[in-house]
Structure 1
Amino acid sequence: MTSLSNQVQPPRSARIDALRGIAVFGILLVNVWSFIWGFESLRYGVLPATASIFDVLAIAFTAFFAEQKFYPIFAFLFGAGFVMVTRSLKEKLGRWSDAERLYRRRLKWLLACGVVHGTAIWFGDILTVYAIAGFFILAGLTGARLRKVRSNLRVWIIIFFALLLGNFLLGMQMISPSALQEQAINTVAAVEAGRVVYTEGNLLSIGIQRIGDYLTVTMQSLFILPHIAVLFLLGAMSVRLGWLTQAARHKKFWRRVQWTGFAIGIPFNLAWATMVVVEAIDPLHPSIYSFLLYAWLPVGGSCLAAAYVATVLLAKESLGGWLDNWLAPVGKMALTHYLMQSLLCSILIQGFGFGLGARWTPAGWLAIAFAIMLLQLFLSRWWLAQHAQGPIEILWRRYINKGFGAAEPTKRDPL
C-alpha cells in the first residue's frame, strides 16, 4: 500500500480554514447556554425580574446572530471537505474504493469521539449526528461525481422540505391556547430542574443528567439529518463546481448569495430574536408566532449563514488577510477547539467546577464564551508554530492512517 506521506501534499485553503474557525466560534455562542439550561426548547431559560439590559441584549444577540447560523456553515464545510479529502486520497491511493474506505475510518472515529464527548462532557454533541449523516450520504456518492451529488441533493431537498412542512402542519393542528399554556408550564419546570442540576449539582448528578439528555438529544437530532444532508451536499457541489475553492472566479455568484441571504435572513432573524427575548421574559404566555418562526428557523438561519459565508469569501485583501492570519489557525484545530470549549464551559459553569452558571447572569455567560474564543485565538497560533495539527487532530490522523502505511502529517496536509 502506498504511503500517504510519500507524495507532495496540496496546500490547505486559509480562507476555508478561516470559515471553519468562524463556525467553531459561532457554535460556542449558542452552546454556552445549554450548559446552564439543559436541552429543553426554552434554550435561553427564564430572565429574572432583576435582569439588566445587558442580559436582554446577550440573548437577543445570540438568537439573531448565531442560533442556527453556524452549524449550517460547519455542515457545509463538512461536505466540502468530503470531496477535497476523498479526491486527494484517490490520487495517493490510486482507487476510489481505498479512498472511501479511509474516509469511512474518519467517520467511525468521529462517531466514537462524539459518543465520548456527549456522554462524558456535554450532552449537545453534534459529531454523532454528523458521522451518521456522513455514512448515509457516502453510500450514495461513490466517486463524489457531480451528477450523483446533484441527484442526491434533489432527493434530500425534497425530504427536508417535506419533513419541515409536515412538522409545521402537524404542529398547527395541535396548537391551542390551553395546550400552549400547559406546555409552557411543563417546559419552565423542566428547564428550572435542569438548571439546578447542571449549575448546582455534583459530578455524579450532572453525569446522570447528561447521559439521559445526550440520548434524548441524539434521537431528536436525527430529525435534522435531512437538513444536514442538504448542507453537506451543497458543500460537496461547491467544491466540484469551484464555488468554494475558486471563489475569486465566482464573485457574481457569491454576491447574489450574500444579498439574497441578508434580504431574507435579517428580517426573519430580527423577528426570531424579538420573540426569543419576549419568551424569556414571560415564558408562561408563549405566542403562536414563536412556534411559527421556530418551525422555519432552519431556513431563516441558513439564509443568514449563507450570507456570512459569501461575505467572508468576498472579503477584500486587508480584511481577508486578517481573517486568514487569525482565524485559519483556529479552523485547522476545529475539532480540538470544539471539544476544548465543552470542557472549559463544563468546568467554569457547572456545579462540579467553578459554578459560574449559578452566580453569573446571561451577560456573564456570554462573556465566558468570548473569553474562551480569545484564549483559543492565541493558543492556535502558539500550538501550530510547533506542530502540524491540533492534538486531537493528530490522534485522529494516527487512527485513520492505521494500516495504510502513513507517516506523520505535514503542515501542507489537506486533511
Structure 2
Amino acid sequence: MTSANTRVPGDLSASAPARALAPDLARGFMLLLIAIANVSTYLWARPVPIYTLHPRDGSPIDTALSALAILFVDARVYPMFAFLFGYGMVQFARSRQAKGVPQRSIDRVLLRRHLWLVAFGFVHAALLFSGDILGAYGLTGLALTALLFWRSDRVVGIVASAMLGLAALGTVLLSGALALAALFVPAEFLASAATDEGFADGVLGAGIEDYGRSMLDRIGSWLIQTPATVLMLLVPACVLLGWIAGRHRWLEVATSRLELGAAALWGTLVSVAAALPLALLSLGALPESMLLGLGFSLISSLGGVAGGIAYAALFGLLARRLGERPGAAARAVAAVGKRSLSSYLLQSILLAPLLSAWGFGLGARIGTAAAFALALGAWLLSLVFAVLLERRGARGPAEVLLRKLSYGREASSVRP
C-alpha cells in the first residue's frame, strides 16, 4: 500500500510544466492514421482476408495502398495511442499533485475515468463501430492503475518487460504452430479459406442493412474483442512504457535528440521488418494461405509496439524542431490531439453512416484508395472542428462530458 501523499516516481517539478506540444501533435496526426486503419472495416460485399481486413478485389493502386497500410499503419497506431494514454495519465497526476490534490482524489478520478471510457466504448461500438478501442484502454487503465500506478520505475519496467516477453513467446509459439500446420493442410483449402466475403458484412456489421441487427453484431464483436485486446498484453505493456516515459518527460525536455532519433529509427526498422511478410502476402508475392496470414499478422502486431513508440519519438523530435512557436499547421494538428476523444468519435459519426449498408451503403461500391480519401476527409473535418474550438478556448464535447462524469466530488479540487 502507498501513503496518501505518495508522488508519482520520476522527474517531477515543483509546479506542473506547461502543456507539452509533442504528445498532442502525435495524437493529432495519429488520428489520421487511425481513420485510415479503421475505414477498411467498412468495405463490404467483397472478398476480405480475415488477417488484414483489406479487400482483395481492388485496382493495383488499391493493392499498393493496402500494403503500405500494413507496413506503416495497421497494428501501429493503437500501440502508440496506448503509449500516449499512459503518458497522459502521468501528466494528469503531475498537474493535480502540483495543485495540492491528494493521491486518493487522483485515484478516484482515474477510476471513474476508466470506467466511463469502457462505457463510452460500449456505446460507440453499439451505435457505430465494432472496432472501438476505448473499451480496451478503459479496462487496461482499471487493471493497471490500481496495482501499479504509484509503484517505482523498476517495478513498472519489470512488469512491462514480462508482458512483452510473454507476448513475444506466445507469438513465436502460435505463429510457429500455424506455419507447421500449413505444411499439412491442402494448399487449395488454405487459399479458399483465406478470404471471407461475409466477414465485414456480418461479423463487423458493415454489410447488414437492418440497423438493429447490425447493432447486435457490433456489440457481440466488441464484447469478444475488448478483453482479448487486453489479454494479448501489448496494449497494457505500451501503457506501462508510457508511464515510465511520462514520469521522465521523454517526449519533452528530458531526452536528447540523439536518443529520440535512435528510438525512431530502430523502432521503425523493427516494425517494418515484422510487417513485411504480411505485406508481401497481401501483394500476392507469397502463396495465399490463411494459416500463414494469421501467423504473419501476429508477428506484425508484435512489431507494431516498436512502430508505435517510434512514431511517438518522431513527434518528440518534430516538437523539438518547432520549438516554442509552432506554425499554424502544427497548432492545428495539436488542437486535434487535445480533443482526441471527440475527434476519434467524430470519425465514426462521419464514416459509419456513409459506408455501412444500413446507411448510404457506399462501402460496397468503392475501393481502398477512395476509402482512404474519405478517411482523410473525415480527419480534415475534425481538424477544422478542433481549430474552431481552440480559437474559443473550448474543449471537445466528449472531453467535457468525460471530465464531468469522471471528477464527481473531486471537481472542486481538480478544477484548473
Taking every aligned residue pair, what percent have the same amino acid on both sides? Answer: 25
Residues in 2 aligned to 1:222 and 1:157: alpha-carbon distance in whole angstroms: 13
Secondary structure (helix, strand or coil) at the match of 1:117 reads: helix
* Residues 1:317 and 2:326 aligned together: no
Name the CA shift for 1:302/1:101 in 2 (closer, same or farther; >3 Å): same
CA distance in 1, matches of 2:154, 2:185: 50
Aligned to 1:413: none
Contact 1:260 1:307 in 2 (8 A): yes
CA contact (8 A) 2:178 2:295 kept: no
Correspondence for 1:327 among 313, 328, 333: 333
Stretches of structure 2 lacking an aligned partner (at least 5 in a row): 1-14
> How far off its partner does 1:42 sit?
4.1
- Residues 40 and 87 of structure 1: CA distance in aligned 2, closer, same or farther (over 3 Å): farther
- 8 Å CA contact 2:271, 2:300 repeated in 1: no
Asked if 1:266 is matched to 2:275, the reply is: no
Which one of the candidate residues 275, 281, 284 is aligned to 2:281? Answer: 275
Match 2:347 to one of 341, 347, 351: 341
Give CA deviations for 1:122-164 in whole Å, capped at 9, x if unaligned: 1111111111111121122242532332232233233322332
Bigger shift: 392-401 or 138-147?
Answer: 138-147
User: Residues 73-123 of structure 1, C-alpha deviation per residue, up to 9 Å, x if partnerless?
Assistant: 100001111212122223435422221121111111111111111122111
Residue 377, structure 1, aligned to residue 383, structure 2? yes
Superposed displacement of residue 309, structure 1 = 2.1
Deviates more, 1:375-384 or 1:29-38: 29-38
Distance, in Å, in 1 between the alignment partners of 2:302 and 2:107 is 31
Does 2:132 correspond to 1:125? yes
Q: 1:192 to 1:397 in 2, by over 3 A?
A: closer
Q: Measured at CA, do residues 251 and 21 of structure 1 come closer, stay the same or move farther in structure 2, by a change above 3 Å?
A: same
Amino acid in structure 2 at the alignment position of 1:212: G
Which aligned pairs between 1:4-403 and structure 2 lie closer than 5 A? 10-37=17-44, 41-48=50-57, 51-178=58-185, 181-182=188-189, 185-186=192-193, 187-191=195-199, 193-194=201-202, 198-199=206-207, 201-224=209-232, 226-246=233-253, 249-278=255-284, 285-286=288-289, 289-315=292-318, 317=321, 321-322=326-327, 324-403=330-409
Q: Which amino acid aligns with 2:258?
A: K
What is the SS of the residue equivalent to 1:160? helix
Greater displacement, 61-70 / 164-173: 164-173
From the superposition, tell whether residues 365 and 142 of structure 1 become closer, same or farther in structure 2 (CA, over 3 Å). Answer: closer
Instruction: Letter of the 1:297 partner, please give it.
Output: S
Q: Classify 1:92/1:302 alpha carbon distance in 2 versus 1 (closer, same or farther; 3 Å).
A: same
Structure 1 residue runs without a partner (length 5+): 1-7, 411-415
Code of the residue aligned with 2:86 in structure 1: it is G
Greater mean deviation of Cα atoms: 269-278 or 169-178 = 169-178
8 Å Cα contact 1:17-1:331 kept in structure 2: yes
Q: Aligned to 1:406, what secondary structure does the other structure show?
A: helix
CA distance in 2, matches of 1:212, 1:94: 40
TM-score by length of 1: 0.85
Tell me the CA shift for residue 40 of structure 1.
7.1
Task: Give distance in 2, aligned partners of 1:139 and 1:110.
Answer: 16
Q: Contact 1:272 / 1:290 at 8 angstroms: preserved in 2?
A: yes
Q: How many residues end up aligned between the 2 structures?
A: 396
- Contact 1:86–1:103 under 8 Å retained in 2: no
1:261-289 CA-to-partner distances (Å, cap 9, x unmatched) read 2333334434432222329xx99x32765
Contact 1:34 1:43 in 2 (8 A): no
In 2: Cα distance, 1:105 partner to 1:223 partner: 22
- 8 Å contact from structure 1 (residues 96, 143) kept in 2: no
Secondary structure of the 1:389 match is coil
| Contact 1:15–1:324 under 8 Å retained in 2 | no
Name the CA distance, whole Å, in 1 between partners of 2:257 and 2:204.
50
Structure 2 CA distance for partners of 1:44 and 1:334, relative to 1, 3 Å: same
Render the CA deviation track for 1:336-366: whole Å, top value 9, x for unaligned: 0111111211111012222111222221111
Q: Which runs of 4+ in 1 moved over 4 A?
A: 37-40, 407-410
- Alignment match, 1:5: none
Cα gap change, 1:341 to 1:91, in 2 (>3 Å)? same
**Distance in structure 1 (CA, Å) of the matches to 2:187 and 2:100:** 57
Contact 1:83–1:144 (CA<8 Å) still a contact in 2?
no
Find the aligned partners of 2:396 and 2:192 in 1 and give their Cα distance.
Answer: 45
Give the TM-score taking structure 2 as reference length.
0.85
Give the Cα separation in 1 of the matches to 2:17 and 2:204. Answer: 50
Q: Give 1:375's aligned amino acid.
A: L
